[in-house]
């Protein structure tokens, strides 16, 4: 209102043709013209701004453009009102029918939002299930590989254990073979049968003379 008042005062004090167009932040249009028809002021502005090309345009074309401008302005204001109503603003001027229509629009919008949200959650769940399946397959593959490595290690340890115990068994067998002739000789009795001992000594001496080694010394 202050700007419109200043524009009026300027047109009176300066004896000038003044036109003022203002759009508020809510999309409302405020306009002032010092003459009765703003279209003439706009035509004059176009002539001065765009040169001789605009001068040649017929008045009907300018009027058509102005009507189109008014139509677009009305449409814009209507959309602005609808947006404010959907946000719960400026509901006082609405009647019962308009409020019911607004309620249906809000319910439809809410249904679409919920449907989109549900579909998004379903897609997310499917993606997570696919990731879970991939992780399970990777886990099974790692388990199989771990079992194979463990089996190879156990086999290697068993082979190493068998190689380490083999010399002891072989030595024990040789010791048993070494002392077996003594246990099987009934004539070898220390301290009891001197005759058998003398005979054995004589036999051993004879064998040594002949170049033979007794079997129990092998």
Query: What are the boundaries of each domain within the chain?
Result: 1-55, 56-93, 103-159
The pLDDT-based confidence of 18 (bands split at 50, 70, 90) is: confident
The pLDDT-based confidence of 138 (bands split at 50, 70, 90) is: very high
Residue whose C-alpha is closest to residue 19's, from 50, 46, 42: 42
- Residue 41, classed as helix, strand or coil, is helix
Q: Is residue 141's pLDDT more than 50?
A: yes
The pLDDT-based confidence of 107 (bands split at 50, 70, 90) is: very high
What does the alpha-carbon distance between residue 152 and residue 144 come to, in Å, rounded to a whole number?
13
**Residue 22 pairs with which residues in a beta bridge?**
30
Q: Is residue 190's pLDDT more than 70?
A: no
Q: 59-91: per-residue pLDDT in tens?
A: 677 788 888 999 999 999 888 888 888 888 888
- CATH architecture under which domain 1-55 falls: 3-Layer(aba) Sandwich (3.40)
Q: Is residue 212's pLDDT more than 60?
A: no
What does the alpha-carbon distance between residue 54 and residue 74 come to, in Å, rounded to a whole number?
26
Q: Look over the chain and give the mean of its residue pLDDT values, rounded to a whole number.
A: 75
What does the alpha-carbon distance between residue 14 and residue 203 come to, in Å, rounded to a whole number?
163
Q: Is the dihedral of CA 146, 152, 154, 160 positive or negative?
A: negative
What does the alpha-carbon distance between residue 82 and residue 68 come to, in Å, rounded to a whole number?
21
Decide if 95 contacts 102 (C-beta within 8 A).
Answer: no
| Predicted local distance difference test score (pLDDT) of residue 123 | 95
Mean pLDDT across the stretch 11-17? 83
Decide if 182 contacts 190 (C-beta within 8 A).
Answer: no
Q: Is residue 15's pLDDT more than 50?
A: yes
What does the alpha-carbon distance between residue 14 and residue 165 come to, in Å, rounded to a whole number?
123
| Predicted local distance difference test score (pLDDT) of residue 51 | 61
Q: Angle at which helices 38-50 and 59-86 pack, to 10 degrees? A: 110
Give the angle 19-21-23 at the CA atoms, nearest 5°.
Answer: 170
pTM score: 0.37
| Predicted local distance difference test score (pLDDT) of residue 208 | 46
The pLDDT-based confidence of 111 (bands split at 50, 70, 90) is: very high
Query: Running DSSP on this structure, what letter comes out for residue 29?
Result: E
Decide if 218 contacts 182 (C-beta within 8 A).
Answer: no
């Amino acid at each position: 209102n202050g700007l419109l008042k200043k524009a009026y005062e300027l047109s009176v004090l300066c004896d000038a043709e003044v036109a003022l167009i203002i759009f508020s932040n809510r999309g409302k249009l405020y306009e002032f013209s010092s003459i009765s028809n703003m279209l003439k002021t706009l035509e004059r502005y176009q002539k001065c701004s765009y040169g001789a090309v605009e001068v040649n345009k017929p008045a009907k074309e300018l009027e058509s453009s102005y009507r189109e401008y008014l139509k677009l302005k009305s449409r814009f204001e209507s959309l602005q009102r609808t947006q404010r109503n959907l946000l719960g603003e400026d509901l006082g001027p609405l009647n019962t029918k308009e409020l019911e229509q607004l309620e249906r629009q809000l319910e439809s919008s809410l249904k679409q939002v919920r449907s989109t949200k549900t579909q998004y959650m379903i897609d997310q769940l499917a993606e997570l299930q696919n990731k879970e399946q991939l992780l399970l397959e990777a886990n099974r593959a790692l388990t199989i590989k771990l079992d194979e490595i463990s089996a190879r290690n156990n086999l290697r340890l068993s082979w190493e254990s068998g190689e380490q115990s083999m010399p002891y068994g072989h030595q024990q067998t040789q010791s048993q073979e070494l002392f077996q002739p003594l246990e099987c000789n009934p004539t070898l009795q220390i301290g009891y049968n001197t005759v058998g001992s003398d005979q054995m000594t004589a036999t051993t001496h004879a064998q040594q003379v002949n170049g033979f080694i007794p079997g129990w010394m092998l």
